[in-house]
Amino acid sequence: MPKYPKSLREKIKDRIKLFVKNPFDPILNNHPLKGKLAEYRSINIGGDYRAIFFEPERGVAVFVDVGTHSKLYRS
């Protein structure tokens, strides 16, 4: 994981744990992306931070990036 502030690293860990328990918990706002990122989904980490992942098979999630909304969704 890149060098994020400790508080953000803890938030990421907490959200991933929540995702494992319930990927569609409303707090996560798990949703499919559109356009170039249509094969990915996103969850809310907190504030402006999101995590992007894809599902190569049912029940398996591969997280590929964490960052701010503007960093992740640049055109």
The full DSSP string for 21-68 is H-TT-GGG--EE--GGGTT-EEEEEETTEEEEEEEEETTEEEEEEEEE
pLDDT band at 6 (very low <50, low <70, confident <90, very high): very high
Which tokens belong to 9?
A: 């690293």
CA distance 65 to 72: 8
pLDDT band at 2 (very low <50, low <70, confident <90, very high): low
CB-based contact 71:59 (threshold 8 Å) = no
Q: What percent of the chain has pLDDT over 70?
A: 96
CATH says 6-72 is which class? alpha beta
What's the mean pLDDT when you consider all of the chain?
94
Beta bridge partners of 44: 50
The string of pLDDT tens digits covering residues 39-64 is: 999 999 999 999 999 999 999 999 99
User: Does residue 12 carry a pLDDT above 60?
Assistant: yes
